[in-house]
Amino acid sequence: MELILATLMEIRDEHRKHHEKIEQLINKVNTLEQENKVIKKELRTVKESANRYELSARSLTVRILGLQVSQEEATANSSDRNKVAVKNAYDRFLKPIFNTAKTKGLIATVPQINTAIAQGFRLSSNAKDKRGNPYPAPLLIKLTDMSFRKAIFICKREALAPLAAEGAIPIIVEDLTSATLNKMKELREDERVDKVWSTEGLIRYTLASDKEKVRKFPGAFTPVNEVIK
């Protein structure tokens, strides 16, 4: 009988020790989970800050998508092709936009190409359409003044409308970071979202359930489900 009691007491003590160890492990796991949440939050903050900084560095640049390579550009020396592409974009699209902006009083005068554009070049691209045909490489243009950039986005639709009847015209968009573009793509693929666009690097969107209200998405590294319930 005493042996049985001693055995039971030993088992009880062992059980108590195991229970204490389990509680310690649970507390440790909870502590690690809390620390992990803090680290993730801090990491997201750092990523968002870096993304905003990169967007700010691109604040004077625009991308022109779909600008076909002209015969002059195609036959130019490799060192001159970018210059030819930039001049083509300025003469055909940017100058008409600046003319409209001047008429609206957004800029005082229509800037010449060297006054408006600091530099420009084609970006390497392997993008293709559904038939496998390559798209024209995007043209990146860095402007010299923020007023020119604002004029482009305010007046591009009105200024380029007459050219639409002649055929496809290039699309002028902001020069966004990969993180921002990926988040916009994720939003567009969400059935709860109606439209997605960007304004000065910030993501804007409307919901399918409320198409009139424009909402601002917090950041490129914010989970969609955290914002859209």
Same domain, 141 and 213: no
Same domain, 141 and 195: no
Query: What's the domain range around 169?
Result: 59-174
Cα–Cα distance, 185 to 182 (Å, whole number): 5
Same domain, 54 and 78: no
Contact 115, 144 (CB under 8 A): yes
Domain C-terminal end among 58, 85, 105: 58
Report pLDDT for 1.
64
Same domain, 163 and 94: yes
Same domain, 65 and 126: yes
Same domain, 184 and 215: yes
DSSP string covering 69-103: PPHHHHHS-TTTHHHHHHHHHIIIIIHHHHHHHHH
Report pLDDT for 25.
74
Contact 61, 175 (CB under 8 A): yes
Report pLDDT for 127.
74
Segment 10-33, tens digit of pLDDT: 777 677 777 778 777 777 777 778
Domain C-terminal end among 174, 201, 219: 174
Report pLDDT for 205.
98
Q: Which ranges of the chain does DSSP label H, i.e. alpha helix?
A: 2-57, 71-75, 81-89, 95-103, 113-116, 146-164, 178-188, 224-227
Low-confidence ranges of the chain (pLDDT < 50): none
Q: Residue 47's closest CA among 220, 203, 174?
A: 220
Give the H or E element holding residue 135. Answer: none
Segment 119-156, tens digit of pLDDT: 999 998 877 777 878 888 999 999 999 999 999 999 99
Ramachandran sector of residue 189 (left: φ over 0; alpha: ψ -120 to 50; beta: rest): alpha
Contact 152, 64 (CB under 8 A): no
Same domain, 44 and 85: no
Same domain, 68 and 33: no
Residue 208 tokens read as 């399918």
Cα–Cα distance, 55 to 177 (Å, whole number): 6
Same domain, 166 and 73: yes
Q: What is the count of structural domains for the chain?
A: 3
Same domain, 92 and 25: no
Same domain, 5 and 67: no
Cα–Cα distance, 229 to 87 (Å, whole number): 48
The residue with tokens 């045909």 is 133
